[in-house]
């Protein structure tokens, strides 16, 4: 036997083409992405004002990291909660479902707000990264062109020093090139007299000797050992080029290799720290995204509740929008 309620149900369901309303979802996602962008930009401005290249006038790195993490979590949660609320409040109610089913559908719309917002953010981030990369390539080409024309001096001065080239510079430094610029002491004899000739020879052979020393050090760094024959050869060449005694040349080679090994250790530490920092940043970004998803679903549920009960959104004690 078919009851009146059963007979009425098909006609009611026929008016429902889909339980997903994409217009409120799109509106909430765009609103969430826009609010998130504004708040993150505002937070970046505050962060840049709090960070300084001079350690004496900058906040500690750990404090900046904590503040940035909290701001990211609050920004994502608040933005998507409001976007979900808008979607739930704007979604048309369907009268054929129980309150629990309506709550689920409202929450599902909030989840879709989050999903669409993440896609929008990813597209914008990819477009921005592409623009930045293109700008960087263009800037690099411009700098390279300027350097070829003699206009890259400032860039060279501000660039990070190369430990290998610096060590080789110290190796072939002439004996009379003292740090204070004072002339060599009297009585230096034949060594002082031969220093200019040695410096001229070193200048003439600098390219070949630099390349050979560079290859020897690179090979030695890969095995963490400087072979005795390579050490003796470098010491002999440095003694001839820089005009220093054999013992001083050997000390220069040993000091240069020790400095390069230390630089290698520091580079490994920096790379490991960057890897750990990248892993932590990725984890925090994923956690913020999951919190934003939950906030969007909760906000949509609240918006649907206010919609069905003719409730109002109160912010700072007042009914607003806006």
Give dist(CA 35, CA 46) in Å, integer. Answer: 17
Q: Which two tokens stand for residue 188?
A: 């230096």
**Chain mean pLDDT for the chain:** 73
Cα dist from 301 to 30, 106, 129, whole Å? 18, 5, 35
- Say if CB 85 and CB 299 are below 8 A apart: yes
Place 60 in a pLDDT band, splitting at 50, 70 and 90.
Answer: confident
Give dist(CA 301, CA 55) in Å, integer. Answer: 47
Give dist(CA 313, CA 305) in Å, integer. Answer: 11
Q: Which of 95, 263, 89 is nearest to 170 (CA)?
A: 263
Using only the alpha carbons of the chain, give its radius of gyration: 34
pLDDT, greater one: 178 or 164 = 164
pLDDT beyond 70 at 134 = no
- Say if CB 320 and CB 313 are below 8 A apart: yes
Residue with tokens 């505050």: 46
What's the pLDDT score for residue 54? Answer: 55
Residues, the chain, total? 322
pLDDT, greater one: 38 or 153 = 38
Q: What are phi and psi of 188, to 5 degrees?
A: -70, -20
- The percentage of the chain sitting over the pLDDT mark of 70, rounded to a whole number, equals 66
- The percentage of the chain sitting over the pLDDT mark of 90, rounded to a whole number, equals 14
Instruction: Determine how many CB atoms are found less than 10 A away from the CB of residue 169.
Output: 14
Domain ranges in the chain are: 20-148+285-319, 160-180+187-267
pLDDT, greater one: 182 or 177 = 177
Cα angle 278, 281, 282; round to 5: 85
Give the model confidence (pLDDT) of 260-294 as tens digits: 888 888 888 988 888 888 888 888 888 888 999 99
Place 180 in a pLDDT band, splitting at 50, 70 and 90.
Answer: very low
Q: Which of 132, 133, 124 is nearest to 38 (CA)?
A: 124
pTM higher than 0.75 for the full model? Answer: no
Cα dist from 184 to 173, 181, 251, 285, whole Å? 14, 9, 20, 61
Give dist(CA 264, CA 89) in Å, integer. Answer: 59
- Say if CB 29 and CB 113 are below 8 A apart: yes
pLDDT beyond 60 at 247 = yes
Give the model confidence (pLDDT) of 201-226 as tens digits: 444 446 787 888 888 888 888 888 88
Contacts of range 94-101, beta carbons closer than 8 Å, 24 or more positions apart = 94/16, 94/19, 95/12, 96/9, 96/12, 96/13, 96/16
pLDDT, greater one: 21 or 95 = 21
């Amino acid at each position: 036997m078919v009851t009146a309620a059963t007979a009425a149900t098909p006609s009611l369901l026929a008016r429902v083409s889909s339980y997903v309303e994409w217009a409120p979802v799109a509106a909430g996602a765009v609103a969430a992405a826009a609010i998130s962008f504004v708040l993150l930009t505002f937070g970046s401005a505050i962060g840049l004002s709090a960070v300084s290249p001079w350690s004496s006038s900058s906040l500690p790195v750990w404090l900046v990291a904590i503040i940035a993490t909290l701001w990211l979590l609050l920004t994502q949660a608040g933005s998507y909660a409001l976007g979900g609320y808008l979607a739930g409040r704007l979604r048309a109610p369907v009268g054929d479902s129980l309150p629990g089913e309506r709550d689920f559908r409202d929450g599902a719309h909030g989840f879709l707000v989050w999903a669409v917002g993440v896609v929008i953010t990813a597209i914008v981030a990819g477009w921005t990264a592409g623009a930045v990369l293109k700008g960087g390539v263009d800037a690099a080409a411009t700098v390279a062109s300027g350097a070829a024309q003699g206009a890259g001096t400032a860039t060279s001065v501000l660039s990070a020093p190369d430990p290998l080239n610096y060590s080789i510079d110290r190796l072939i430094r002439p004996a009379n090139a003292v740090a204070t610029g004072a002339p060599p002491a009297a009585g230096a004899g034949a060594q002082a007299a031969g220093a200019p000739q040695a410096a001229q020879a070193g200048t003439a052979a600098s390219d070949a000797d630099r390349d050979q020393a560079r290859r020897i050090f690179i090979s030695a760094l890969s095995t963490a050992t400087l072979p005795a024959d390579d050490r003796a050869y470098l010491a002999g060449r440095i003694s001839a080029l820089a005009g220093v005694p054999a013992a001083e040349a050997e000390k220069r080679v040993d000091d240069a290799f020790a400095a390069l090994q230390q630089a290698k250790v520091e580079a490994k530490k920096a790379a490991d720290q960057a890897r750990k920092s990248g892993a932590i940043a990725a984890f925090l970004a994923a956690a913020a995204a999951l919190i934003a998803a939950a906030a969007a679903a909760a906000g949509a549920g609240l918006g649907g509740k206010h919609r069905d009960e003719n409730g109002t959104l109160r912010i700072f004690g007042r009914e607003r929008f806006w």
